[in-house]
């Protein structure tokens, strides 16, 4: 299954998640790529958008090779191959501290005037643009579960079979549109897979869940009121 871009993938995911519309779900997007998608999904479901901050732990000398992940609290998950990749306890501690500092800076920029939205007692939907290893999604699900949601959903357009199997036990429901046998990388399944920067994340978080009606539009109650007044003059 191919996606034109993240907007296309988000719209298809929103359709799959449509049964949750009307229950004011909290959509928690994994930055950066998951955030523009999360905004569209939250709008489609009449929900609320926030971020869940987690970071991949890279292997020594190979930062793109995931050996685990860490959340904002410092909770760390390590893959079975972490030690084989040369990650001893001292390395894991240093790498975790470095990634927590990245998260601290991002939190200060993304939501500078408010704390994270509390998922306690709510339907929480954790969104990303895809799962390669599943490490960051696992950490995200753990972080959200610790705060007591009523129902916890992992929602992604595409995932490797191994990643999906890894994260399933950490959520109540997994929604994944495509699990290709020949999975190589998340971007392989998007025709357009552009870089998402911090400015775009901040802009997405600042947008209302649904756009305000334009003045004078048919959905603007003041427009109807003005029209009625004019007819009676």
Name the token pair of 210.
């649904």
Q: How far is CA 216 from the centre of its chain?
A: 35
- Enter the pTM of the model: 0.87
CB 8 within 8 A of CB 32: no
Q: Which residue has the tokens 């079975």?
A: 80
Name the token pair of 87.
């990650």
Name the token pair of 98.
């470095």
CB 167 within 8 A of CB 138: yes
| Residue 119: predicted pLDDT | 98
Given a cut of 70, the residues of the chain with pLDDT beneath it are 209-233
| Residue 226: predicted pLDDT | 34
| Residue 214: predicted pLDDT | 41
Helix (H) or strand (E) holding 146: none
At 172-229, the pLDDT tens digits run 999 999 999 999 999 999 999 999 999 999 999 998 755 444 444 333 333 333 333 3
**Quick count: other Cβ atoms within 10 Å of Cβ 73?**
12
Name the token pair of 205.
């978080």
């Amino acid at each position: 299954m191919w996606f034109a871009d993240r907007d296309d993938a988000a719209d298809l995911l929103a359709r799959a998640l449509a049964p949750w519309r009307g229950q004011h779900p909290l959509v928690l997007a994994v930055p950066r790529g998951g955030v523009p998608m999360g905004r569209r999904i939250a709008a489609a479901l009449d929900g609320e958008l926030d971020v869940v901050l987690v970071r991949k732990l890279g292997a020594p000398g190979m930062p793109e090779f995931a050996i685990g992940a860490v959340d904002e609290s410092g909770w760390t998950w390590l893959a079975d191959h972490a030690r084989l990749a040369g990650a001893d306890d001292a390395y894991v501690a240093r790498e975790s501290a470095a990634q927590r500092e990245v998260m601290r800076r991002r939190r200060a920029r993304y939501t500078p005037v408010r704390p994270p939205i509390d998922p306690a007692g709510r339907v929480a939907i954790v969104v990303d643009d895809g799962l390669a290893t599943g490490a960051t999604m696992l950490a995200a699900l753990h972080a959200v579960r610790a705060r007591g949601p009523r129902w916890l959903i992992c929602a992604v357009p595409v995932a490797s079979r191994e990643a999906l199997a890894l994260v399933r036990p950490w959520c109540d429901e997994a929604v994944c549109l495509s699990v290709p046998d020949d999975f190589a990388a998340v971007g392989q399944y998007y025709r357009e897979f552009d870089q998402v920067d911090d400015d775009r994340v901040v802009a997405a978080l600042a947008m209302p869940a649904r756009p305000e009606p334009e003045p004078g539009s048919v959905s603007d109650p003041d427009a109807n009121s003005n029209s009625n007044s004019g007819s009676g003059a």
